[in-house]
Amino acid sequence: MADIIQLLPDHVANQIAAGEVVQRPASVVKELLENAIDADADSIKLIIKDAGKTLVQVIDNGKGMSHTDARLSFERHATSKIKNAEDLFQLHTKGFRGEALASIAAIAHVELKTRLHCDDIGNAILIEGSHVVSQDVVVAPTGTSVAVKNLFFNIPARRNFLKSDTVELRHVIDEFHRVALAHPGIAFTMYNNGSEAFNLPVSNYRQRIVNIFGNKTNEKLVPVEEDTEVLKISGFVGKPEFAKKTRGEQYFFVNNRFIKSAYLNHAIASAFDGLLKNGTHASYFLNLTVDPQTIDINIHPTKTEIKFDDEHTLYAILRSAVKHSLGQFNIAPVLDFERNPNLDTPYDYKGNQASMPKVEVDRSFNPFQEERRPGTTSTSYKKEPTTSWESLYVGVESKGNEAQQDLSEVQFESEEGTASIFNEDQQVEQSNTTYQLHGKYIVSTIKSGMLLIDQHRAHQRVLYEEFLKNMTTKEGVSQQLLFPLQLHFSSQDIVIVNQLKADLEHTGFVFSNIEEELVEITGVPVGVPESEVSIILEQLISDVENEVPDSHFSATDLLAKSMAKSLAIKTGQALKKDEQEHLVNKLFACKEPNVSPTNRTTFITMSVDELDKKFI
């Protein structure tokens, strides 16, 4: 039998490796930024075009590379970070696999320019799909510039799997934030399609957070500091009143490397237990410093997951540190046993003995003594009793007859009676056709049996079709606010609000001013409470970041879905009889009452036969 196992060509092996390393443009951004940090750069510039699909370029002022190193950097498993297997457990750098540049070069056009500090001229290498096109000597500044163009040009299937530019740009910005937050001592600049998106100077950690997420973030932060033999914690957590519906602003850094850990995230949630509203998540920006020998970084291709030797100890320390900070800065309620100085005895009365109160008694008082008329002598005066009780009612009869005569002439105003299309029996039966079950379902009777409606999903469907109609016909009704509502967002969130402004105005929102980090609203759709506006916009921005389609109609559809989801009545909300009937009527007036906007069933029916079978 012929041999069937063969070695893969290098370009195929590189493309397979690229599938693990490069999933989207954001993966390229992460690898290139980490390489720049490992090169000891103190100023890094990121340039993006078309959300990274056309161009991802990183320019740094680091060490640079020699002619030989520049060429070797594109070979697989070529790295300067480790020399033997033991070095994997003493890592202090970002990139150590030696696959990043080789994988990127396999699926894109890569242009590298680099120069060492001690050299007068630099080197330039051009690679297309793992093939070196040219390597020349060029004039270049100190440091390295890597430009990745036309990502996935030779793998069209992978390119088709990329999301819209808005979604991919959000992933790029997320990676940029993660690297920039971990290194406040490095200046970062980001340009998107020719315009400056971020300019982050060298600063401390708190200033770096404020520079990224906006000036209003400063008042939301509570510092966390803890130093033990096992773990050192530094950073900030957000105050409970500023908790968000989404998990966007949650960052763990272990030895200056961003990680995701559901276990440690639970420790934070446990520290905030009892302080957060249901469905909200606290923000945190925490740096954890541990011994490199106690962690294993090399367990995931993207290096965002880390295995700890003793997770339970880290959990306990982290939870206690956050809880201590919340209590120390009077965020969490505490039992206060301190005395109130206002209750102290004044100086003038200190040392004085308490005097017994004097009780004065009128010993001559006799409650049974006969009553005396004021101004009379001491002789007793007796009240003459009425001769008979009938005398009390003398003349009442005549007065009553007069009143009766007067009342007979009074005309009472009566309400106009309106004819009903139902007789009384039918009305009684109709008023008892809906019931609310466990604050979640509405039970209604139909000819064939029983109808069970999910009130939350049903209201979503009703609101969704109303919003979609208003946005399509541009006839949204607005209610004016007594005072303008000012909401603060990050600069990237403001970009999304500007994109959706026209559609939001068609639903009834009125924007008086949109600045760099401020949105001022003077009108909201009818029925939308003022307290819900910030929650609606935050949820909407989150939905848009994750799944904005390209077509205008689809974006309008997503906007209607997001607003319906935020404003629909929640499970557990009690409804009156008329509210239940109104919801049922509105649901069956919809075009598609069977499903919610997210294609989930809104109601089910049970026939009398099905109910009869339950009793067999």
Range with top average pLDDT, 83-92, 133-142, 403-412: 133-142
φ, ψ dihedrals at 238, nearest 5° = -85, 150
CATH architecture of structural domain 434-605: 2-Layer Sandwich (3.30)
Q: How far apart are alpha carbons 182 and 217 in whole angstroms?
A: 17
Q: How far apart are alpha carbons 334 and 323 in whole angstroms?
A: 11
pLDDT digits (tens, 9 = 90+) for 262-284: 888 888 888 888 888 777 888 89
Question: What's the CATH fold of domain 10-202?
Answer: Heat Shock Protein 90 (3.30.565)
Question: Which pLDDT belongs to residue 550?
Answer: 43
Evaluate if residue 59 carries a pLDDT over 90: yes
Q: How far apart are alpha carbons 407 and 412 in whole angstroms?
A: 10
Q: Check: CB of residue 487 under 8 Å from CB of residue 518.
A: yes
Question: How many C-beta atoms surround the C-beta of residue 339 within 10 A?
Answer: 8
- Under the banding of pLDDT at 50, 70 and 90, the label for residue 424 is very low
C-alpha angle 568/569/571, rounded to 5°? 120
Question: What's the CATH fold of domain 206-328?
Answer: Ribosomal Protein S5; domain 2 (3.30.230)
- Six-digit token pair at 405? 């005569």
Q: How far apart are alpha carbons 373 and 276 in whole angstroms?
A: 72
Contacts of 312 (CB under 8 A, 6+ apart): none
Question: Which pLDDT belongs to residue 494?
Answer: 82
Adjacent-strand bridge partners of 253 = 258, 287
For residue 163, how far is the Cα from the chain centroid?
Answer: 22
Q: Check: CB of residue 93 under 8 Å from CB of residue 65.
A: no
Contacts of 323 (CB under 8 A, 6+ apart): 271, 332
Evaluate if residue 605 carries a pLDDT over 60: yes
Evaluate if residue 324 carries a pLDDT over 60: yes
490, amino acid identity: S
Question: Which pLDDT belongs to residue 479?
Answer: 79
Helix (H) or strand (E) segment spanning residue 14: helix 10-21
**pLDDT, the chain, mean:** 78
Contacts of 558 (CB under 8 A, 6+ apart): 543, 544, 547, 548, 549
Cα–Cα distance list, 547 to 157, 170, 192, 525, 541 (Å): 20, 11, 20, 24, 10
- Six-digit token pair at 102? 């080789």
What separation, in Å, do the N-terminal and C-terminal C-alpha atoms of the chain show? 67
Strands of the sheet with 109-115, listed across from one edge: 131-138, 122-128, 109-115, 143-149, 55-60, 43-49, 187-192, 195-200
Q: How far apart are alpha carbons 438 and 574 in whole angstroms?
A: 9
Evaluate if residue 37 carries a pLDDT over 70: yes
Give the residue-averaged pLDDT of 2-28.
Answer: 75
Q: How many helices (H) and strands (E) does the chain have?
A: 17, 22
Evaluate if residue 407 carries a pLDDT over 80: no
541, amino acid identity: I
Q: Which residues of 573-591 are buried (b: 16+ CB within 10 A; e: fewer)?
A: eebeeebbbebbebbeebe
- Under the banding of pLDDT at 50, 70 and 90, the label for residue 406 is low
For the chain, where do the domains classified as CATH 3.30.1370.100 start and end?
Answer: 434-605
- Three-state DSSP at 224 gives strand
For the chain, where do the domains classified as CATH 3.30.230.10 start and end?
Answer: 206-328
For residue 33, how far is the Cα from the chain centroid?
Answer: 27
Question: Which pLDDT belongs to residue 57?
Answer: 93
For the entire predicted model, the pTM comes to 0.64
Nearest to 534 by CA among 489, 569, 480, 597: 489
Adjacent-strand bridge partners of 136 = 124
Tell me which of 476 and 238 has the higher pLDDT: 238
Q: How far apart are alpha carbons 536 and 519 in whole angstroms?
A: 13
Question: Pseudo-torsion of CA 26, 197, 220, 224, nearest 10°?
Answer: 50
Q: Check: CB of residue 200 under 8 Å from CB of residue 211.
A: yes
Nearest to 514 by CA among 551, 472, 485: 485
Question: Which pLDDT belongs to residue 77?
Answer: 65
pLDDT digits (tens, 9 = 90+) for 244-257: 777 778 898 988 88
Evaluate if residue 56 carries a pLDDT over 90: yes
Q: How far apart are alpha carbons 211 and 190 in whole angstroms?
A: 13
Tally of residues, the chain:
616
Tell me which of 91 and 604 has the higher pLDDT: 604
Tell me which of 494 and 202 has the higher pLDDT: 202
Evaluate if residue 545 carries a pLDDT over 90: no
609, amino acid identity: D
